[in-house]
Structure 1
Amino acid sequence: MHSGKRFGALEFAVWTKRSIYILTLLSAIPTVLYYCGWTFLSFPWQPIAIMGTAVAFIVGFKNNASYSRLWEARQIYGAIINDSRSFGYILRDSLSGKNPEKVKEMFLRHYAWLTALRFQLRESRPWENMDTAQFEEYAQKYEVPEKVNKLDKELESYLSGEELHYILSKKNRATQLIACQSRELSEIYNKGEINDFQWSQINQQLVKFTDNQGKAERIKNFPYPRNFSSITTYLLLLFIVFVPFGLLKEFDKLGDNTFFEGFTVWFNIPFSLLVTWCFYTLDSVGEASVNPFEGSPNDVPITQISRTIEIDMRDMLDESDLPPAITPTNNIIL
């Protein structure tokens, strides 16, 4: 997540510099050929304008869908924050007088669940964008903790050696940690340490965690539909290629009967670049937000949220040695 007021103009220029080079070349080639006498390369601008309208609609649709996925992901983690706090004080107040060590153990297992979940959500998928040159270069401005650190090392501080070995042997570690919490809760209930109402309250929180995990996994594992993504790419590519051809004659006529006659066609390069860059960048912005857990600068900050939850829950137990809050690096916080 970008925590500054805005992405700077220079950041946008650097982020899109490869596209600027390509778009400048695509604008320059027909202009040079037209100036050299290949005037038949000029196309009527009207069909291209109609194509541009279609591209604008479909790019706008994609951006709306991308924002919806991003906002839903943020709502899911907002629910995890609230449910974690509720889980913490309900468990503490139900059990601390009878078995404070078990409270601490279940708190630690919850931190482990948050850790395992964020590592799972940061795993790469074939349709994500972080392995492209454009995103890889920008990613040098910050670090994705789940790409730098190891899951087993982070879980060591939360789980016993036996439980850690058991969890690491599973495919979906986050799910199995919730299952361990449920088993632990059943044992506590069977021993009579909590009553029916307390068991029901705590169990409801575990169900909510499972529900929110499933929602996050749905966004992670189901990409923006490939048919919509593909048609957007193809229409945008056609529009970018044809725009310089559609503006050739218009800029050439701009200098008629003036001192600049015959030279105004060169305006085709910067203006075609500007138009195509706007459309391409709008599409890139949508593409940068469509996968909200991949580790891009527009991601939901699940690492920071998980740390905030851990700090709040440790504070509930009056612990003094709290972990530090995660702060932005170059205005990027994950």
Structure 2
Amino acid sequence: MHLGKTYKVSEFIAWTRRQIYLLLGVGAIPVVLYQVIGLRWLTIPLTVVGLLGTATSFIVGFKNVQTYNRTADAQQIWTSILNSSRFWGICIQGFVLRPDDARDLMERHIAWLTCLRYELRKPMPWESMEKASNAEYTRSYRIPERETSVDEELCKYLSEAELRQILKVGNQATQVLWLQSRGLKRMLDNDGISLTSYIELNKILKDLIEQQGRAERIKNFPYPRQYAIINTIFVWAFCALLPFGLLKEFDLLNQGITGFMQGSMVWLVIPFSATISWMYTSLEQVGESTENPFEGGANDVPITQISRTIERELREVIGETNLPALKQPVNHIIL
């Protein structure tokens, strides 16, 4: 998540520069064919390009709205996890009779958050973090889940026996909740909590399972691929045809000017077509980088920071004073 006022224009241009290079090349090809080789018939009516541009605007706008909704939904899920975690801390402090039991429940909850965030950070084939522009930009901020392994993190919160059990299963977050449920039953059997408290705490576990499932839905089900490919096709079809539509328009400008640009106005098609096309490709690139809000992009939901906030608050609830420090933004970005 970017915490600054805005991105710098230089940052945005650097992020999209590969598209700019490509667009300049796409714009140069028809100009060379038209102006240098003399293929004067090589033009397209600008109205045809305009119709394609209008259709492209609609489909790009549709994608960006949908991808923004995925990010907003992800943020709402983790806000719910934050609120449920606070309620979990209040309940274990009020319901659990033995301090050691309360600590175990708190530690397992933090372990669940750890497993969930590592699961959500796993790369998927459809995600865009491996693209050159995104991979390059990750050097300017930190992704904590790539700096340490889940094993190193979980050993802080789980016993050795529980850790071994967690690491050998596929869905580790679900396994931690199962351990949590089993721990509650053990406390009930040993008179560590009342039956009413046991029921209430299991209701919170059910809510956490639902929130986990909602987060996994966004992670494991991508923005529909049919919409993604048609968006890319429309954008690049428009970018490829735009220079052909501008050739005759810029050639007509030669009739009204004198000087060194006389007869050479067609060359301006290259920067102007690249600029217009860049607006479309930039919107497409922004939408693509927004559609997967857990992959580790600069604008993703800060699940690591939320987890650390929850850990600090839970430790305060049980009376600890040696709290883990919150992560600090790097270049205004915090995950």
What is the TM-score of this pair, normalised by structure 1?
0.98
User: What are the equivalent positions in structure 2 for 1:172-183 lying under 5 Å apart?
Assistant: 172-183=171-182
Q: Are 2:262 and 1:261 equivalent residues in the alignment? A: yes
Q: How does 1:134-173 map to 2 (within 5 A)?
A: 134-173=133-172
Aligned partners of 1:195 and 1:143: how far apart in 2?
A: 44
Aligned length: 332
After superposition, what is the alpha-carbon deviation per residue over 1:187-231, rounded to whole angstroms, capped at 9, x for unaligned?
212233322321222111111110000000000000000111111
- 1:263 Cα shift? 1.8
Map of 1:74 onto structure 2: 75
Secondary structure at 2:152's aligned position in 1? helix
Aligned equivalents of 1:318, 1:257: Cα separation in 2:
81
C-alpha separation between the residues in 2 aligned to 1:206 and 1:134?
40
- Measured after TM superposition, the shift of residue 42 of structure 1 is 1.4
Distance in structure 2 (CA, Å) of the matches to 1:143 and 1:257:
55
C-alpha contact (below 8 Å) 2:68/2:291 kept by paired residues: yes
Deviations 1:51-82 (A, max 9, x none): 11111100100000100000000000000000
Structure 1's unaligned 5+ residue stretches are none
Structure 1 outlier segments of 4+, above 6 Å: none
1:65-104 pair list within 5 angstroms: 65-95=66-96, 98-104=97-103
User: Which range moved further: 23-32 or 119-128?
Assistant: 23-32
Q: Give the distance between the partners of 2:286 and 2:217, measured in 1 at CA.
A: 22
Are 1:24 and 2:30 matched, yes or no? no
CA RMSD of aligned residues (A): 1.0
Deviations along 1:86-134, whole A, 9 cap, x unmatched? 0001111111xx3110100110011100000000000010000011111
Counterpart residue number, 1:305:
306
Q: Do the aligned residues in 1 keep the contact of 2:102 with 2:318 (CA within 8 Å)?
A: no
State the secondary structure of the residue aligned to 1:69: helix
Deviation of residue 170 (structure 1)? 0.9
Identical residues among aligned pairs (%): 45
- Please say if residues 74 and 218 of structure 2, whose CA atoms lie closer than 8 Å, have aligned partners that are also in contact: yes
Asked if the contact 2:142/2:334 (under 8 Å) is kept, the reply is: no
With normalisation by structure 2, the TM-score equals: 0.97
- Equivalences for 1:166-315 in 2 at 5 Å? 166-259=165-258, 260-315=261-316
Distance across 2 between alignment mates of 1:31 and 1:99 = 79
Distance 1:203 1:248 in 2: 69
For 1:233 and 1:212, locate their aligned partners in 2 and report how far apart those are by CA, in whole Å: 32
Deviation at 1:22, TM superposition (A): 0.6
AA partner of residue 243 (structure 2): P
Q: Give CA deviations for 1:157-186 in whole Å, capped at 9, x if unaligned.
A: 101111101111111000000011111111
CA drift at 1:248: 0.7
> Residue in 1 aligned with 2:326?
325
> Aligned partners of 2:210 and 2:202: how far apart in 1?
12
- Residues 1:122 and 2:121 aligned together: yes
Counterpart of 1:10 in structure 2 is 10
SS at match of 1:81: helix
**Match for 2:64: what amino acid?**
N
Q: Deviations over 1:264-285 (max 9, x none)?
A: 2122111101110000000000
Q: Choose 280-289 or 263-272, whichever is displaced more.
A: 263-272
Alignment-mate amino acid for residue 306 of structure 2? I
CA separation in 1, counterparts of 2:43 and 2:236? 18
